[in-house]
A = this chain, B = another copy of it.
Amino acid sequence: MTVVDAGIDMSTALGRVAIPSPVLTASGCSAFGQELEPFVDLSAIGAVVTKSVQLRPRSGRPTPRMAETPSGMLNSIGLQGPGIDGLLADDLPWLAERGARAFVSIAGTRVEDFAELAERLRGAPGVLGLEVNISCPNVESRGEVFACDPAAASDVIAAVRAAADPAHPVYAKLSPDVTDIVGVARAVTDAGADGLSMINTLLGLVIDPDTMRPVLGGVTGGLSGPAIRPVALRCVWQVHQALPEVPILGMGGIRSGLDALQFVLAGASAVSVGTAVFNDPSAVARVHDELAGALAQRGFAGIGEAVGHAHRAAA
């Protein structure tokens, strides 16, 4: 593809915070940014969305943690990570030093965990905002995933919004594994979410034909990659149609600028590139360039005009 650099205005925002590019990493798919440095200018991308962090350091699940699937993969990492202390001590300062913006993903198994994490992140260097990963089991509700229950999801978001730095936009990250994603979107927005990240992985399973057992130690895992892109686009489309004023960070199988364009046209004002980074470590920067070219070729002066365009063209 020829990248047309027609001085396209690629600046956009997460909530009310401006970012220079609409293309971000996806939580859990670029760790805390360090390893991408040889491939991507971290200060030029929209933000580094960090691996979901919890209060305590976590080992994550035993291996095997992944299975390749047609045009995608299944993972069951179990949120391995340093815990909030490690994040604050090492990872955020590292990103801040390089002028990279951190959109910090937080996770927990209790409403209070989320609130405490938001509280701890107030005033941390380089933090641009919070993405709330509610695709976690709620220990107070027999392990039901927060994101699958509009009430539980709202409780988390309300608590985070109350505890977080008022300058930090709070995005709720939704799961596609629900009957009515618009209902969940509406609930969390009513609870104070400044935006929505869509989508998290789909629950999937692969059985190893040799061992005749599930491949993953955790039995089921999260399906990601281009395979799920049509589902992700449908979720973004439905939610933007119902709640056109709510900013959406779109993701799910984005691999090229034209993939990102589809999300923007469906209603996303920014996008995350996740699994594609495993295929191409420079994917985040490449998608930015390709998206800029695609927007220019289509006569847009900036990304802003293109957001939700596919809905308007219908009228």
Residues of A in contact with B (beta carbons under 8 Å apart): 67, 69-72, 74, 148, 177-180, 202-207, 209, 211-214, 219-221, 223, 225-231, 233-234, 237, 253, 258, 261-262, 265-266, 294, 298, 309-310, 313-314
Q: Determine which residue in A67, A211, A234, A262 has the highest number of CB atoms from chain B within 10 A of its CB, and name it.
A: A234
* Chain B residues with CB under 8 A of A70: 70-72, 225-227, 229, 253
Given contacts A70-B229, A205-B266, 4 further A-B contacts (CB under 8 A): A72-B230, A177-B179, A204-B230, A209-B262
Which residue of the partner chain B has the closest CB to A202?
A: B231
Once the chains bind, are A230 and B205 in contact (CB under 8 Å)?
A: yes
Which residue of the partner chain B has the closest CB to A300?
A: B212
Once the chains bind, are A74 and B230 in contact (CB under 8 Å)?
A: yes
* Chain B residues with CB under 8 A of A177: 179
Q: A177-B179, A237-B220, A313-B213 are in contact. Are A231 and B206 (CB under 8 A)?
A: no
Measured in the bound complex, the distance between the Cα atoms of B202 and A229 in whole Å is 11
Shortest Cβ distance from residue A297 to the other chain B in the assembled complex, whole angstroms: 10
* Chain B residues with CB under 8 A of A211: 313
Shortest Cβ distance from residue A51 to the other chain B in the assembled complex, whole angstroms: 22
* Chain B residues with CB under 8 A of A237: 205, 214, 219-220
